[in-house]
Amino acid sequence: MSRFIISGTDTGVGKTVVSAMLVAGLGASYWKPIQAGTDGGTDATRVAEMAGVAGEKIVSEAYCLSHPASPHFSAETDGVSIDLERLEVPDVSGPLIVEGAGGLMVPITRSTLQIEVFAGWDLPVILCARTSLGTINHTLMSLAVLHDWELPIHGIIFVGEENRDSQRTIVEMGGVRALGRMPQLDVLDRENLRAAFDANFQPEDFA
């Protein structure tokens, strides 16, 4: 079954937009286990809007925290104690996209990093990486951490304008495959996300 963790080299790198594209392109369900920051909407509501999917494709968050910060601090600020046992991958039929918070080394609690939670799930990781300057360092470091934790790496999705040498260097030096590149879109709606998926990705890579 196609179930993937969507992580990234940093916060704001494009994980939610890539997730919405995969929800639209693969007909997948979506789960954001921990939402930290609710002003301006949640990632789940943005995915539903962008991908044009109804509520049944969106699994409710295990934790929806109001403060926009790292989950460990957002929870503390909201007076919430995060119970790791509640972070169980939902049992949905069909493909599932699970979007992490920020990057791999984000603390979920004062003693647990997000990558430790991922390691307990045994799902392949898709790493979203910018194409802009600085991406080689951030992406190779993220891949090194994934290797350290022995997580299965499904591939990289680049986000942004083409940067041939950076993309090539990451693939070659990181020993990882590129699943495709998500271009910058002026309008983030279902039609454009589907078109971006069809033009830049191979559905069989997500089987």
Of these, 5, 7, 14, 129, which contacts ligand ATP (CB under 6 A)?
14
Q: Is 10 in the site for Mg ion (CB under 5 A)?
A: no
- Distances, alpha carbon 21 to alpha carbons 16, 30, 52, 196, in Å: 9, 11, 10, 8
Out of ligand ATP, Mg ion, none, which partner does residue 185 contact, by CB within 5 to 8 A per kind? Answer: ligand ATP
Is 7 a residue that touches ligand ATP (CB under 6 A)?
A: no
**3, 15, 32, 181: which one is catalytic?**
32
Residue 172 CA: distances (Å) to CA of 129, 132, 140, 175: 15, 17, 10, 5
CB 175 within 8 A of CB 147: no
Per the CB < 8 A criterion, the answer to whether 35 and 64 are in contact is: yes
Is 11 among the residues that bind ligand ATP (CB under 6 A)?
yes
Tokens of 118: 């991922």
Instruction: Give the nearest distance from C-beta 44 to ligand ATP in angstroms.
Output: 11
Q: Is 15 a catalytic residue?
A: no
| Per-residue x/- track, 85-104, ligand ATP (CB under 6 A) | -----------------x--
Q: Report in angstroms the alpha-carbon separations of 75 from 86, 92, 184.
A: 14, 27, 33
9/174 Cα distance (integer angstroms): 13
Residue 8 makes contact with ligand ATP by CB under 6 A:
yes
Report the site for ligand ATP in 119-178 (rule: CB under 6 A): 159
Ramachandran angles phi, psi of 130, nearest 5° = -65, 160
CA 49 from centre of chain: 17
- 43 lines the binding site for Mg ion (CB under 5 A): yes
Q: Which of 4, 5, 7, 13 binds ligand ATP (CB under 6 A)?
A: 13
- Sites for ligand ATP among residues 34-73 (CB under 6 A): 43
Active site residues: 32
Binding site for Mg ion (CB under 5 A): 15-16, 43
Binding site for ligand ATP (CB under 6 A): 8, 11-17, 43, 102, 159, 182, 184-185, 188
